[in-house]
Structure 1
Amino acid sequence: MKKTLASDNYAGTSPEIIEAITKVNNGHQGAYGADEATLEAAKMFKRLLKEDIEVFFTMNGTGANVTALSTVCPSYGAVICSSAAHINVDECGAPEKFGGFKLLTVEKQDGKLTPQDIQPFLVNLGEQHWSQPKVVSITQATEYGTIYSVAEIKEIVDFAHKNNLLVHVDGARISNAAVSLGVSFKEMLVDTGVDFISFGGTKNGLMFGEAVIFLNTKLAENYKYVRKQGMQLLSKMRFISAQFLALFDGDLWSKNASHANKMAQLLADGLSKVPNVEITQRVQANGVFAIIDPSVIPVLQEQSPFYVWNEQTHEVRLMCSFDTTEEEINQFIATLEKLSSVSV
């Protein structure tokens, strides 16, 4: 089957993950998280982050984001996020419908918020006619493939906490961010003071499954009820938990993310040498954003499907995965070079 640059969601599942699923597919175990793999996976995250956390597993990223935010943000509240945030653009209004809260968005060219972006929303606090800001949600890595440094996260968290706001991290590509920065998850999330996380796995080799992790355990009190209401409580949870155990048993998480990031950089390097191609974002994770001659886009998509991110500017998004190969990247660049020379 043809591989694509459309999304890291298009990739298959790491063989190690398939093996882990097969191993737990043996006999009967307790349902709804009362199984050995889920208990061990929670311990694993505690070793990875800190002991005093609450760990829950969900079936997908939207479910993780929506249930987590809905637990801590009342329906009269608001979540501040980038206009490009997944919760704003790609979740079909699920946060607002399920949680009832309002999204307050900021237009950012690189998808990254700053304290200065948050400040304008801190008006009319306590005014009954206005939605009340409760949470700042940042995406790491962002939907534009950019990454918050540890210092930038700490600055946002300090500002948010000073103004009685909580900080959520949508970590669909959290592993790509960690290997790019060369820091541990603890340094990125715990030491900066983040309150809760949607910890991604599907985009880094898992078949399915994400984790909601409350670093501030006081926020987790009612999460189990919200997860159940939100239809994210998988009865055979061991098939999610076993995948996370395999991901962090050794360096699979790092190997997969590092390879995807490396392929994106290789792609960006090649594209930068093609005339009339403009790389629009700093390539820090596994995504490349570029403006390409619209006349060649359909032909390129026949070879390796990808999405046009902005129809007006002809900006495309090219995503690399744990199984993207150098040969595929080189073929894509060679085809673009050939098409570009013909179209000139």
Structure 2
Amino acid sequence: MEFAERLTALAAKVRQQKGQIETEEATKNAFVMPFISTILGYDVFNPLEVVPEFIAEVGVKKGEKIDYAIMHGGTVQILMECKKSKEPLRIEHASQLFRYFAVTNARIAILTNGEVYEFFTDLDAPNRMDAKPFLVLDLNDVDETLIPELMKLSKDEFDLDSIISAAGELKYIGAIKRAIAAEFREPADDWIKFLTSKVYDGPFTQRVRDQFTGLVTKATKQFLNEQVNDRLKTALGAPNFPMANDAEIAATVTSEASVEEDPVETGIETTLEEMEGFHIVRAIVCGDVKPARIVQRDAKSYCAVLLDDNNRKPIARLHFNRMQKYLGLFDENKAETRVPISSLDEIYEHTEALRSSVRAYLEPSAN
């Protein structure tokens, strides 16, 4: 099994079992030890590779233990401190990691609750663990761009120099991406004020703030959609991609807005992956029907792609709420078949099935 597949399998296990994990020990046994063994590749039962409850002399803190020390080349290379699942990680949890980092050869420290893994090193000062992680792995939402870096910490491909040299860039790129994502989900006042100042010359009163909060939110979502469309046009080839006119675009926006549900009230939130998947499906079938007629409607368990905003005319369903993604395809009887996909690009492999669904609805006898 490939590295990414093992990570996917562990992420699925975490999602399935985290509701039953109540203690730190249960977290270690169910999630952390499998991470060390199946992802990083170290034998958790071999004290030459993994030392549980590792002890080092740390000033006046005699006999203080850290949860795991991972050995490589006969020396301690990675320190790991665990907290119970469902408990949000805080830098205060890393106090023992800070102390141990200074008195061992370890250059990597990991703080985890079994779901989120925060990786630290000493970028700011030699032999002193940084206060902020250079890499954050969330098994509830795995960032696939981090997988090559994570592999460098595995037993078979251990490359400390490479991971340390990349840590500075990883630290700030990761932090910037998380900050951007937060602004797109819920724009902060400073962000709203900054963008408003670029387009509005009047004073930034409370009324203006209220007005532009909604406008900034809509503009950021539309910007993302446009970026996705640009990628699709490039992938499909612009000459073969029929562009909608202004009226059709307006109709699409209106149609999508009419079915958009408030995630605060319903618990439904359309993810960027779902929006990108929707645009891929729409790009595929636009040779048979105008793009304005293809609409997405989100639900808690899947995102539906419909013809004419009619749930009796399903084209596809995007089951992206789990680590293993599925593309739902429909036959002539509207029976759904779920096809596992590992990336959004694999949707293109089902072009004919998607187009067949649309063509069936365009036939005179279709309901």
Report the TM-score, using the length of structure 1 for normalisation.
0.29
Q: 1 or 2, which has the higher helix percentage?
A: 2
Larger Cα Rg: Structure 1 or Structure 2?
2
Larger RCO (CA within 8 A; separation ≥ 6): 1
